[in-house]
């Protein structure tokens, strides 16, 4: 069934492509092409991007955890500004919301303003996570998707679904076509972090996990065609 409003999670590392750091413009343009197909078809799209192509966690004991997380939040803002500009160059209108003020670079998050942007057909970016330390972008997308009453969360990853063990380490790993969030939590499968998993379970927010690298995977997922794993609530 086609969704009315979806939230798409992209990893910073995936956007970096083979370089592993920074941005790979061809990769981002391909994401933009697929999102535009969905926007043109009437799907409302919210986007959250991780910051791992610039910063991942606390890299030194000399850095306080709170400060490390703040650096990570700013990395996600940089990512959203860049990807938003590529989207604009591909003919889309965009808006970036953050939970904290970033001068004139972003808009301060408001559910009412975000809803207006969705209704106007814009690609709506939610940068800066929750705005607080100790919460990941997984929790950030769970929070915003629930708050904005999305139909589902789409997780475009380097892996093509959810497995019962790491397929890189276990060639016999079993891929799930469908699995419940409760089973994900019980088996510690780490589709998203535990806080995000519990939020999605409590608020009945389904997720879909699929490979970013499969042809048209984002556009197909936004039509309800999941070539990966559906995580049910």
Q: What is the pLDDT of residues 134-177, one digit of tens each?
A: 999 999 999 999 999 999 999 998 788 999 888 888 888 999 99
Phi, then psi, of 144 in degrees rounded to 5: -70, -40
- Cα 52 from chain centroid (whole Å): 12
Please, are residues 125 and 96 in contact by the beta-carbon 8 Å criterion? yes
Q: In this structure, is the dihedral angle defined by the CA atoms of residues 105, 109, 111 and 112, taken in order, positive or negative?
A: negative
Per-residue pLDDT for 196 more than 70?
yes
Report whether 231 contacts 184 (CB < 8 A): yes
Report whether 66 contacts 133 (CB < 8 A). yes
Query: Which pLDDT score, from 0 to 100, does residue 101 have?
Result: 95
Cα separation, 25 vs 158, in Å, equals: 17
Q: Is the pLDDT of residue 19 over 90?
A: no
Distance CA 14, CA 83 (A): 12
Are 144 and 96 contacting, i.e. CB atoms less than 8 angstroms apart? Answer: no
DSSP 102: B
Give the model's confidence band at 30: pLDDT under 50 very low, under 70 low, under 90 confident, else very high: very high
Q: Does the pLDDT value for residue 16 go beyond 90?
A: no
Give the separation between CA 141 and CA 68, rounded to whole angstroms. Answer: 20
Cα(28)–Cα(170) distance, integer angstroms: 31
- pLDDT band at residue 2 under the 50/70/90 scheme: low
Q: How many CA atoms lie within 13 A of 110 on its CB side?
A: 8
Taking only the tens place, the pLDDT of each residue in 113-142 is: 999 999 999 999 999 999 999 999 999 999
The rounded distance, in Å, linking the Cα atoms of 182 and 202 is 10
Q: What is the pLDDT of residue 21?
A: 84
pLDDT band at 233 (very low <50, low <70, confident <90, very high): confident
Query: Across the chain, what does the average pLDDT equal?
Result: 92
158 three-class SS: coil
Segment 71-94 mean pLDDT: 96
Which alpha helices (DSSP H) does the chain contain, by range?
12-16, 25-40, 65-89, 111-119, 137-147, 181-186, 194-202, 217-222
Q: Could you tell me what percent of the chain has a pLDDT over 90? A: 73
Kindly list the distances between the CA atom of residue 97 and the CA atoms of 15, 105, 144, 159, 233, in Å, as whole numbers in the listed order. 20, 9, 11, 28, 27
* Pairwise CA distance, residues 83 & 165, whole Å: 32
Please, which pLDDT band fits residue 13 given cuts at 50, 70 and 90?
A: confident
Percent over 70 (pLDDT), the chain: 98
Q: What angle do CA 85, 193, 142 make, to 5 degrees?
A: 55
């Amino acid at each position: 069934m086609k969704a009315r409003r979806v939230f798409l999670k992209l990893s910073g590392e995936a956007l970096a492509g083979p370089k592993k750091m920074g941005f790979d413009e061809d990769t981002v343009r391909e994401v933009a092409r697929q999102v535009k197909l969905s926007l043109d078809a009437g799907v409302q799209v919210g986007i959250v991007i991780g910051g791992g192509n610039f910063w991942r966690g606390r890299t030194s004991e000399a850095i306080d955890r709170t400060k490390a997380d703040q650096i990570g939040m700013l990395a996600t803002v940089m990512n959203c500004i860049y990807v938003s500009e590529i989207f604009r160059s591909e003919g889309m209108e965009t808006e970036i919301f953050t939970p904290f003020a970033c001068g004139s670079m972003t808009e301060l998050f408001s559910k009412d303003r975000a809803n207006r942007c969705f209704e106007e057909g814009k690609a709506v970016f939610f940068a800066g996570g929750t705005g607080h330390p100790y919460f990941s972008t997984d929790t950030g997308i769970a929070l915003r998707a629930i708050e904005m009453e999305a139909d589902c969360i789409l997780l475009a990853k380097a892996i093509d679904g959810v497995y019962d063990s790491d397929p890189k380490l276990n060639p016999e790993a079993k891929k799930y076509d469908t699995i419940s969030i409760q089973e994900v939590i019980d088996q510690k499968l780490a589709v998203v972090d535990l806080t995000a998993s519990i939020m999605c379970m409590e608020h009945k927010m389904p997720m879909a996990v699929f490979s970013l690298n499969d042809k048209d995977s984002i556009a197909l997922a936004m039509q309800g065609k999941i070539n990966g794993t559906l995580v049910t609530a």
